[in-house]
Amino acid sequence: MKNFRVLIASFALIIFCSGCASFKTPQPIDLELDGLSAEHIAQVRDLLKKLEPYIAKKDRKGELPYLTLDELESPLNSRETRLLHAFRDLRAREVGTRIPYRGFSEGKTPLIRLDGQKIRVNGLEKELPPQFLSPAAYEAYQSMMTAMSRDIGKKLYVESAYRSSAHQLYLFIFYLSNHSYSIRETAKWVALPGYSEHGDPRRLAIDFINAEGINGEKDVTTFEVLPEYQWLLKNAGQFGFVLSYPKNAGVGITYEPWHWRYAITSEPCCV
């Protein structure tokens, strides 16, 4: 009888402890790479609903380049945080892109804020949100635009430059809906956090937009026919800028004529 009681107690302990373990360490979330499940799509939408006001507030204050992962997680519950981490932990190769890991960047290096960029879209003036560049990329951009204005009487504006990796993580999740919630498709257009040249101040990418608001996002040919783009192809190299993703780059990223990288280092990439 005593042995029987010991046996029952042991079973109870085993059941209790395994329950504790699964409560304390929930299973990591497995994301479906070619199209999220209906359950995960619903969770992504809820996550964005919670994060959008937070991101908009940071954007208004000009604090987005310094957004950290801790801050991004701050409005989330534990299930939402696990979902966020599942996206954070994706690796480029598993989603079909062959770009190097640059490290998780949190805006710790000095950045120059670019304010007051005004363009004209369909006749209406529009001011671009503040952008942030490394000092070297900022100088090179200004010199390049002086030369472009002198040569063709036009200039390009900075639509997007430095982004912290937490901001990149948010953007990746945000743009999933444009690509039928396929992680593999989204990764052709938006780099995973830690892989973006927009998060690497030593090899900083700038996305350009012209004075009429043409950025090629909806139709790439609208940007590649611009005289500004033709000028970049001939001259940007003199100022240290490189077209990162030309046609058939062979790295699994779509052709991006607006995306140019300025490298302040000749060290081989990356961490």
Q: Residue 250 in 3-state DSSP?
A: coil
Point out the residue whose Cβ comes nearest to Zn ion.
259
> Three-state DSSP class for 70?
helix
Contacts for 148 with CB less than 8 Å, ≥ 6 apart: 154, 155, 156, 228, 231, 232, 235
Query: What's the rounded Cα separation, in Å, for the pair 80 and 187?
Result: 21
The pair of three-digit structure tokens given for residue 147, joined into one six-digit string: 């030369």
65 contacts: CB under 8 Å, gap ≥ 6 = 107, 111, 132, 162, 163, 164, 167
**Least CB distance to Zn ion at residue 21 (A):** 43
Minimum CB distance to Zn ion smaller for 102 or for 259:
259
Query: CB 220 → Zn ion: shortest distance, Å?
Result: 13
Which CB, 43 or 196, lies closer to Zn ion? 196
Binding site residues, Zn ion, CB under 5 A: 205, 207, 259
Looking at beta carbons only, is 185 or 207 nearer to Zn ion? 207
How near is the Cβ of 76 to Zn ion at its closest, in Å? 27
Select from 215, 204, 135 the least CA-distant residue to 164. 204
Q: Distance between CA 51 and CA 39 in Å, rounded?
A: 18
Residue 204 CB, nearest approach to Zn ion (Å): 10
Q: How far is the CB of 198 from Zn ion (least distance, A)?
A: 6
> Which CB sits closer to Zn ion, 47 or 119?
119
Of 106 and 256, which CB lies nearer to Zn ion in the complex structure? 256
Burial state string for 180-216 with b = 16 or more CB within 10 A and e = fewer than 16: ebbbebbbbebbbbbbbbbbbbbbbbbbbbbeeebbb
Considering beta carbons, is residue 95 or 205 the nearer one to Zn ion? 205
Q: What minimum distance in Å lies between the beta carbon of 156 and Zn ion?
A: 13
- Cα separation, 24 vs 19, in Å, equals 9
